[in-house]
Amino acid sequence: MIRTPAIDWLTLAPSLALLAATIASLMAAVLVPERRRRNVSWFFCLAGYAGAFAAAAILFDRSPHSRGVIANALFRDRYGALAAMIVAGVGLLTTLVYYGERSTVDRVGERFALLASAGGGMILFAQSANLLTLFLGLEWLSISLYVLCALERERPEAIEAGFKYLIVGGFSSAILVFGAAFVYGATGTLNLAQIAGKAPSGDLFLITGLAMILVGFAFKASAAPFHTWTPDVYQGAATPVSGFMAGATKAVALLVALRVLSVSFSAQEHLWTSAAAALAVTSLVVGNLAALAQRDLKRMLAYSSISHAGFLLFAITAASSLGTRALLYYLIPYGAASVGVFALAALHERELGEPATLDNLAGFGWRRPLSGIALWIFMLSFAGFPLTGGFVGKVYLFAAAYRSGWTWLLIVGAVATLVSLGYYLAVVRAIYMRPEPGEKAAAKEEPPLLDRMLSTAVFAAVIVTVGSFFAVQPLIDLAKHAASQLPL
């Protein structure tokens, strides 16, 4: 008889919930009659994310100490559990937004199955405790997302997005796995916790492996100069999916990067902090300057997400417990605002039947007062303005960078924020201050279509974005518990 390792089902529960949702949605796509197919698949996906969130919350509560489970393949800890909660929360909102997304062909079952599957992969990725499960989780989430991007194959942009994402993503996965091989060669182990100390800290193979793993993460987090796929993919993919990628994929990539770097490569800290600082500055420069030139809303948001990768990399640069807390904190309002803003872009697209641009957003804020305010709030949160959680996150990140001695990063960050106002406020200017084109204003007098699901998601996103400014303490406690389990 083969000896199987003891299985900790609670650790697996969040990803299993989503895996079950995936299978159920797929079965629904085949078995349920066509007119009810969308509702049933959607419901399974939503239930999967809700279940994953609940399971992750329980896991968080019951994992006061970090330990490896299932033959050290996964970590059972609060860090992973909080990451799973962020992913599940973003996924839950995305599912709500995705419900009303029109599609010319009937592939609604598959779309929800893939969305649930991507979330499951992300959670496994976030919990992984050795380089093999890490790669497994990465591929699971990536393949789901490749297909999700290309799902609307009638639109050439969607095909382009999926194809581009596949090529670049596959390339980056290859680099990461190559790096893992180098690390294995240098240390003889794939276990994250055992890599540290197995090889001399200046070992050439180990450092090459570290660099390649870092590049792999930078691709997934869309940090410059590994960002080139981002604008095209965000623009081409279905709008709710773009929001999911901005809010969840990036979060998970950065969280896992910080975990791998701090657990396995603590001896090379001086190397990867400098590398993270360089990536941060490059991302801030590239993301902000390129975003200024965009007219297409989704493309602009893609570049904005690159610049956010830059800010988030401050936390990795800081390499401290405060930095970890800052990263976890920042991701909460950032994830909510990302889903929210793409939801509003989707709303606008469905109304107009064409991509949202700064020009056709004119008058949006007056036509839809509440959505306008929501969009305004998300923009302010992205820009790190007070009265939104983005501000607290930015205070945290800046404080972490300063505490670890990276004072000059604060100046870069301040200048980058100033530049970023140029495009965030351009949205506010578009929705409130530009006159609506006359003939369109007359033609658009039909009653606005109300999408309850989408409104709920936007409302929830606003609550999280604004709430994380006022009710700071509970979130700090969450981040504190999670961050204390990383060896920083």
Q: Which residues bind other proteins (CB under 8 A)?
A: 322, 325, 366, 369, 380, 385-387, 391-392, 395-396, 398-399, 402-403, 407, 410-411, 413-415, 417-418, 421, 425, 428-429, 432-433, 472-473, 476, 480
Output 187 or 320, the one with its CB closest to other proteins. Answer: 320
Tell me how far the alpha carbon of residue 137 is from its chain's centroid: 15
Contact by Cβ (8 Å): 222, 230: yes
Give the residue carrying structure tokens 């100033």.
Answer: 418
Output 178 or 402, the one with its CB closest to other proteins. Answer: 402
For the CB of residue 215, give the shortest distance to other proteins in the complex, in Å. Answer: 30
Output 76 or 78, the one with its CB closest to other proteins. Answer: 78
Token pair, residue 448, equals 């606005």
Token pair, residue 29, equals 């796509």
Output 128 or 357, the one with its CB closest to other proteins. Answer: 357
For the CB of residue 184, give the shortest distance to other proteins in the complex, in Å. Answer: 38
For the CB of residue 315, give the shortest distance to other proteins in the complex, in Å. Answer: 14
Output 350 or 480, the one with its CB closest to other proteins. Answer: 480
For the CB of residue 401, give the shortest distance to other proteins in the complex, in Å. Answer: 9
Count Cα neighbours of 340 within 13 Å in the Cβ-side half-sphere.
29
Output 293 or 433, the one with its CB closest to other proteins. Answer: 433
For the CB of residue 406, give the shortest distance to other proteins in the complex, in Å. Answer: 11
Token pair, residue 429, equals 């200017």
For the CB of residue 366, give the shortest distance to other proteins in the complex, in Å. Answer: 7
